[in-house]
């Protein structure tokens, strides 16, 4: 066994074959993955690692590095992708070995939160948990009112790229995207996946929605909103027109739990939403660093005298919350649930609990188009 290490140029075809065997789809790694942190086609920083057995790649993980804006505070994140092991090499701990290596490297790079699209035991054992609150609503044509004449939805085109970027950049909780990342997203969009729809109100474009097929079932007239930005009122008013324009039986629309305005607007229009966790699982990589990044957020919510006596700590697998003489120690999973929220969030008592309730849970974005 050799690794974890980046794949060498001559091994890239074998990595693609491994993906095809495990996932049933062709995958091509970039030759640049030989570097310490590669650039995926010049956009999102990416780290590719493999374990080699008998001269062939036996296990693989790719990690993408991003940053999110949480009410104006910049927080570094990482997402893992393409986690796979050859069937004949399973049960030997290779995926866990690479994941542990990735986590330590991400921590060293100042990453605060890990985002994982799955929830299997490999991630649970590493401290990843389903966190946050995500509302899911289903819009059906028979339940939707006629849209107001002032609301109009149209298919977006290349001329709308700058509008979409501008609307996204005004969101208070979102992923940061450089111009190159936007170029990659729009290249996929121009190939037809996903579809961009522009919402206009009295002729003024105020919002967009990226819409694509629901994973299951793929052939029915059901679509899902992958991402949205802009006026919530315009979006709510445009949903009936979008459902009818696409000839859908259902449009699945998910949004974070802190979007109480959307909950109210949809309820007024007969669209009920159900709460659930954010997609996938999340893990805290650096709780003290996260709270330092959120210093402006904390300053708006807590007096200086309170902030001065509030502290956060983290060991390899434990997190610590302290206020004056009170403290609580939690494992990584429980700490993630406390910081990012969710139905399993642990309760904290006393003055510490009162202080934490003023700042937690922290609003966190759905991965949306940044999901890998």
Q: Find, among 105, 95, 93, the residue nearest to 65 by Cα.
A: 105
Domains of the chain: 2-111 (3.40.630.30), 134-276 (3.40.630.30), 281-359 (no CATH)
Q: Which residue did the predictor score with more confidence, 24 or 33?
A: 24
Q: What is the edge-to-edge ordering of all strands in the sheet holding 310-314? A: 310-314, 318-323, 326-331
Res. 26 pLDDT band, cuts 50 70 90: low
Q: What is the pLDDT of residues 57-96, one digit of tens each?
A: 999 999 999 999 999 999 999 999 889 999 999 999 999 9
**DSSP state string for 49-89:** EEEEETTEEEEEEEEEEEEEEETTEEEEEEEEEEEEE-GGG
The pLDDT score that the predictor gives to residue 157 is: 86
The pLDDT score that the predictor gives to residue 31 is: 39
Res. 41 pLDDT band, cuts 50 70 90: very low
Q: Is the pLDDT of residue 30 over 50?
A: no
Q: The pTM is what?
A: 0.88
Q: What is the pLDDT of residues 111-146, one digit of tens each?
A: 999 999 888 899 999 999 999 889 999 988 887 777
Alpha-carbon distance 364 to 112, whole Å? 12
Alpha-carbon distance 316 to 314, whole Å? 7
Half-sphere CA count of 223, side-chain side, radius 13 A: 21
- Write down the mean pLDDT value for the chain: 88
The pLDDT score that the predictor gives to residue 277 is: 83
Pairing relationship of beta strands 2-5 and 45-53 according to DSSP bridges: antiparallel
Q: Give mean pLDDT, residues 152-159.
A: 90
Alpha-carbon distance 235 to 199, whole Å? 7
Contact, 197 vs 240, CB < 8 A? no
Q: Which residues lie closer than 8 Å to 283 by C-beta, 6 or more apart? A: 103, 113, 114, 116, 123, 126, 127, 128, 129, 332, 336
Question: Which own/partner pairs from 344-347 qualify as long-range (CB within 8 Å, at least 24 positions apart)?
Answer: 344/129, 344/130
The secondary structure element, H or E, covering residue 125 is helix 121-125
What 3-state DSSP class applies to 233?
helix
Q: Both tokens of residue 168?
A: 């996204």
């Amino acid at each position: 066994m050799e690794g974890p290490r980046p794949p060498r140029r001559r091994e890239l075809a074998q990595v693609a074959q491994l993906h095809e065997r495990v996932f049933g789809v062709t995958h091509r790694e970039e030759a640049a993955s030989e570097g310490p942190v590669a650039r995926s086609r010049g956009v999102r920083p990416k780290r590719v690692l493999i374990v080699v057995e008998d001269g062939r790649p036996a296990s693989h993980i790719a990690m993408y590095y991003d940053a999110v804006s949480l009410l104006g505070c910049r927080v570094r994140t990482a997402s893992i992708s393409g986690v796979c092991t050859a069937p004949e090499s399973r049960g030997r701990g290779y995926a866990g070995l690479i994941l542990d290596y990735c986590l330590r490297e991400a921590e060293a790079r100042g990453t605060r939160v890990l985002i994982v699209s799955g929830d299997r035991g490999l991630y649970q054992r590493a401290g990843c948990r389903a966190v946050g609150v995500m509302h899911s609503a289903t819009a059906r044509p028979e339940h939707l009112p006629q849209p107001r004449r002032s609301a109009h939805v149209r298919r977006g085109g290349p001329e709308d790229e700058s509008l979409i970027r501008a609307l996204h950049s005004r969101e208070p909780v979102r992923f940061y995207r450089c111009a190159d990342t936007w170029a990659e997203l729009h290249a996929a969009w121009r190939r037809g996946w996903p579809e961009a729809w522009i919402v206009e109100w009295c002729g003024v474009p105020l919002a967009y929605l990226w819409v694509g097929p629901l994973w299951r079932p793929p052939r029915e007239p059901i679509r899902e909103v992958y991402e949205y930005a802009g006026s919530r009122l315009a979006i709510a008013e445009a949903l009936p027109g979008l459902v009818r324009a696409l000839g859908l039986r259902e449009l699945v629309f998910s949004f974070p739990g802190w979007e109480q305005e959307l909950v109210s607007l949809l309820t007024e229009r007969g669209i009920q939403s159900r709460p659930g966790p954010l997609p996938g699982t999340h893990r805290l990589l650096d709780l003290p660093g996260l709270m330092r990044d959120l210093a402006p957020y904390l300053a708006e919510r807590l007096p200086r005298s309170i902030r001065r006596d509030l502290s956060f700590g983290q060991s390899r697998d434990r997190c610590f919350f302290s206020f004056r003489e009170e403290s609580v120690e939690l494992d990584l999973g429980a700490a993630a649930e406390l910081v990012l929220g969710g139905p399993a969030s642990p309760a904290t008592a006393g003055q510490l609990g009162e202080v934490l309730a003023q700042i937690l849970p922290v609003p966190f974005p759905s991965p949306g188009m940044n999901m890998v």
